[in-house]
Structure formats: structure tokens, C-alpha cells
């Protein structure tokens, strides 16, 4: 079986109001970080569990990977390729901020091996972008998309709905404009209030308020309708793609495939262990320079955890939970074990099941957390 690599680039020029991902705005440590990342990559190449395994997907996430120069990406790619054989069509994705993209940078990334770009557009409404405290505006987002199109590269657009002051209409206008710009993949995430963020402070102090649940529900369901009518197939709660353009890296997470995380705060999974790197740049640099690794937490996955994760992950997917595979793996008849709960959600139109699969309906996907927590 092959595996995936996730590389966390922990720098952002400014911090968005809603974001609690690990990133810092002091860019002075970028070069030291890149040198350290190369050392960590080298150290992981000697991990017996990965030796000889083929690399199916690579994902540069963050933070803001597009703050890295094409040369930085190229030298990292060289190191990775030296250590791990690539599959014949390795998907190599990179998150980019619209503000960072120029034609020469884009061509540099392509030359370094990136073959899929994930553009953080979030909204095409300037007042919503200001609430999110994004660096770009609607015009720069459109220009970035047009640049990607004119270079004929595979790209995805990330959007956020449920923004304070956002109406169903303004959300659907953003979505319709993005669809018109012809990405092959769209991710749409419901805005969540994370602890310690500036957005949470604004909500708590009454400066801003989130749209009501019913409005957010209407945003989600009408977006599914619009995307489906426009030829996108939903394959996960928040992800839609034209046929054949699903994100293989994220699919690897959702189907329990092994992955290696590099960089501070990145997560890794190689059965039966999950581990996480330290979420501190100085500590990351010190630890990697000492031992080649900077792991802060490690968990062994018990059979019970494996079962819960399986249910949690597969019910996210529109393909659903395969009942015979579940029974083969865990020795449990899922339907008999959960008949009462399944019937309740079925009667409310939140899930469907037959003798082969259990699947959430679009309405069920909107409340997936509640359904899944009652099933595990
Ligand atoms: S650019 Fe991304 S990682 Fe950086 S602060 Fe904004 S949302 Fe967070």
C-alpha cells in the first residue's frame, strides 16, 4: 500500500479573524524553518515503516505555502523524491492565497512538480472578506482564478459559508460566480467559531452575529442543489468535484490510508499509531535539529477507536459505510447493532440504508456531527 505526505508551512503574513490553525506572522524564521524541514524529511526517509513504499499524494498546506518560493518547493520535492518512489500519477497539491500568485511564481511551482492548486477564495463579497480579515479582495481572487485557468492547471476553490451578515443570496452569488470561473473542484466549509480567535471575541461582545441555523442550513442545501445542477458531484460533506477530480489526498485521510506529516503541528498516521508534531516553531526547530523528529503526542489506536474512526470517516463520504466491509473488519452487524437509531434518523430523512450501505442524506450531512456521535 502506498502512503501520503502532508507538509505544514506555518507562516502567514497576517492572521485571519476565524483561524486557529497553527501559524505565525513573524516571517524571519522562514529560512531556518525550511532547513529544518529538510532535516525532518531526511530523518523520516529512514523510517522502516515507510521504506520502499510508494508516495500516492503530497499536500503542501498551512499556514500559507504560497509564501514559499518555487526554489524552496523544488528543493523539498527533490528531497522527497530521493527518499520515496512516486506513484505513476502522484497528486501534488499546494494551498495558495490569491494575493501571492503571480504568473512567474505559478510557473515555478508547476516546474517544481505541483499539479493541483487549492485556492483560498472563501468569498467573492468584499464586506464578507473584511469580516474574515483575509488579505485579498474579490478582484484579486478572480484574477488568481483566471491566472490558474490561463495556465490550464488543475485547481480547487475553497469557500466559506455562514459568515456574519451573509445572506443566502450573497452566498449563492459567490458560489454561482465561482462555478462560472470553472474550477474542477470546490470545497465549501461552514464557518465555525474557534476558541481564542478574534472572530469569537467579536461575536461574544455582540459586534457581529452569526446567521441563524435555519439560514445556514438553507445555504448548505441550496449550494448542494446548485453544484449538482452545474455538474459537480458531492463526494464528501464539504467537497464537490467534476468526475475524476476528487482530491485524492483528502480521500486518503477519509478512507484510513497511512500518511506522514512534516512540519510543526502536522499529524501522521501509520497503523496502529497516530502522532502529532509540536505546535511551536522554536521547539520544532530545536527538536528536529537534535533528533530529526519533533513529536509531541503519540496514540496507539485500540480496536474500539478504530471502529469509531471507521464509522466517523466513512459516513462523511457520499459513498457511505459499506456494511459487509464493516462486518468483515469488526465482526459486527452494523444494522442490528444500531437499528433503533438508524430507523429514527431514516424516518426524519437524515439517512438512508439498505442491505449494502448506510449513507447520510444532504439534510443528514448538515447535522452529521450529531448523527455520527449517536452511532459511535
Ligand atoms: S491564511 Fe489560512 S492559515 Fe493563515 S491565518 Fe488565514 S486561514 Fe489561517
Q: Candidates 6, 12, 20: which one to mutate for ligand 1, based on the most atoms within 8 Å of Cβ?
A: 12
Task: Assign 1 a pLDDT band (cuts: 50, 70, 90).
Answer: confident
By alpha-carbon position, which residue is closest to atom 2 of ligand 1?
63
Q: Which atom of ligand 1 is nearest to the CA of 62?
A: 3
Residue 208 pLDDT more than 90?
Answer: yes
Q: Put the strands of the sheet holding 116-122 in their side by side order.
A: 233-236, 239-241, 185-190, 155-161, 116-122, 86-96, 55-62, 3-9, 259-262, 267-270, 273-277, 295-300
Residue to substitute in 9, 20, 62, 163 for testing ligand 1 pocket (most ligand atoms within 8 angstroms of CB): 62
Q: What does the alpha-carbon distance between residue 362 and residue 294 come to, in Å, rounded to a whole number?
A: 40
Q: Atom 3 in ligand 1: which residue has the minimum CA distance?
A: 63
Give the position, in ligand 1's atom list, of the atom nearest the Cα of 134. 6
Q: Is 296 helix (H, G, I), strand (E, B) or coil?
A: strand
357 pLDDT band (50/70/90 cuts)?
very high
More reliable by pLDDT, 50 or 194 = 194
Distance 12 CA to ligand 1 centre (A): 6
- Protein residues with CB under 6 Å of any ligand 1 atom: 12, 15-16, 19, 21, 23, 62-64, 97
Residue 14 CA, closest ligand 1 atom number: 5
**Looking at the predicted structure, is the pLDDT value of residue 83 above 90?**
no
Pocket test for ligand 1, best of 20, 64, 159 (most atoms within 8 A of CB): 64
Cα 9 to averaged position of ligand 1 atoms, centre (Å): 11
- 182 sits in the region (left: phi over 0; alpha: psi -120 to 50; else beta) called left
The per-residue pLDDT for 52 is 77
Nearest-angstrom CA–CA distance, 153 and 138? 21
Identify the pLDDT of residue 104: 97
Q: Which atom of ligand 1 is nearest to the CA of 20?
A: 8
Quick check: 61 pLDDT over 90? yes
CATH code of the region 303-375: 1.10.10.920
> Which residue minimizes the CA distance to atom 8 of ligand 1?
19
Distance CA 217, CA 366 (A): 7
Span from the CA of 27 to the centroid of ligand 1 (angstroms): 14
Q: What is this structure's pTM? A: 0.96
Q: Is the pLDDT of residue 47 over 90?
A: no
Query: Are 234 and 227 spatial neighbours (Cβ–Cβ below 8 Å)?
Result: yes
Residues 203-217, mean pLDDT to the nearest whole number: 97
- In this structure, the residue with its CA closest to atom 5 of ligand 1 is 15
- Sign of the dihedral defined by the CA atoms of residues 147, 150, 156, 160, in that order: positive
| Ranges in the chain annotated CATH 1.10.10.920 | 303-375
Query: What ligand 1 atom has the least distance to the C-alpha of 18?
Result: 7
User: Where in the chain do CATH 3.20.20.70 domains reside?
Assistant: 3-254
What is the homologous superfamily of the domain 3-254 according to CATH? Answer: Aldolase class I (3.20.20.70)
Ligand 1 centroid vs 72 CA: distance in angstroms? Answer: 20
Looking at residue 102, its pLDDT comes to: 97
Dihedral sign from CA coordinates of 103, 109, 113, 117: negative
Nearest CA to ligand 1 atom 6: 16
| Mean pLDDT of the chain, nearest integer | 96
Confidence of residue 329 (pLDDT cuts 50, 70, 90): very high
Question: Ligand 1 center to residue 15 CA distance, Å?
Answer: 6
Given this model, what pLDDT does residue 5 score? 97
Amino acid at each position: 500500500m502506498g502512503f501520503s505526505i502532508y507538509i505544514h508551512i506555518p507562516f502567514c503574513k497576517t492572521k485571519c479573524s476565524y483561524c486557529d490553525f497553527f501559524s505565525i506572522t513573524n516571517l524571519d524564521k522562514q529560512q531556518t524553518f525550511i532547513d529544518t524541514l529538510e532535516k525532518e524529511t531526511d530523518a523520516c526517509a529512514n523510517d522502516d515503516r515507510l521504506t520502499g513504499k510508494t508516495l500516492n499524494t503530497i499536500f503542501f498546506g498551512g499556514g500559507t505555502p504560497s509564501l514559499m518560493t518555487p526554489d524552496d518547493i523544488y528543493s523539498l520535492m527533490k528531497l522527497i523524491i530521493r527518499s520515496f518512489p512516486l506513484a505513476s500519477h502522484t497528486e501534488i497539491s499546494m494551498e495558495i492565497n490569491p494575493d501571492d500568485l503571480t504568473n512567474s511564481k505559478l510557473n515555478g511551482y508547476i516546474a517544481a512538480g505541483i499539479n493541483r492548486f487549492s485556492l483560498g477564495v472563501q468569498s467573492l463579497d468584499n464586506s464578507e472578506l473584511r469580516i474574515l480579515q483575509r488579505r485579498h479582495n474579490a478582484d484579486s481572487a478572480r484574477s488568481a482564478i483566471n491566472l490558474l485557468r490561463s495556465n490550464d492547471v488543475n485547481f480547487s476553490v475553497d469557500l466559506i459559508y455562514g459568515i456574519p451578515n451573509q445572506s443566502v443570496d450573497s452566498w449563492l452569488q459567490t458560489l454561482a460566480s465561482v462555478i462560472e470561473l470553472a474550477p474542477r473542484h470546490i470545497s465549501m466549509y461552514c464557518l465555525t467559531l474557534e476558541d481564542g480567535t478574534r472572530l469569537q471575541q467579536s461575536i461574544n461582545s455582540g459586534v457581529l452575529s452569526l446567521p441563524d441555523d435555519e439560514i445556514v442550513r438553507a445555504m448548505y442545501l441550496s449550494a448542494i442543489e446548485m453544484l449538482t445542477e452545474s455538474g459537480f458531484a458531492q463526494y464528501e460533506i464539504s467537497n464537490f468535484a467534476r468526475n475524476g477530480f476528487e482530491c485524492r489526498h483528502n480521500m486518503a485521510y477519509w478512507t484510513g490510508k497511512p500518511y506522514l506529516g512534516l512540519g510543526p503541528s502536522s499529524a501522521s498516521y501509520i497503523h496502529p499509531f497516530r502522532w502529532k508534531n509540536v505546535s511551536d516553531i522554536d521547539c520544532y526547530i530545536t527538536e528536529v535539529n537534535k533528533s530529526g523528529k519533533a513529536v509531541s503526542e503519540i496514540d496507539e489506536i485500540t480496536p474500539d477507536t478504530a471502529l469509531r474512526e471507521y464509522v466517523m470517516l466513512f459516513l462523511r463520504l457520499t459513498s457511505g459505510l459499506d456494511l459487509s466491509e464493516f462486518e468483515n473488519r469488526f465482526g459486527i452487524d452494523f444494522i442490528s447493532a444500531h437499528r433503533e437509531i438508524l430507523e429514527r434518523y431514516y424516518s426524519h430523512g437524515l439517512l438512508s440504508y439498505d442491505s449494502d450501505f448506510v449513507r447520510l442524506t444532504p439534510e443528514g450531512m448538515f447535522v452529521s456531527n450529531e448523527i455520527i456521535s449517536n452511532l459511535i
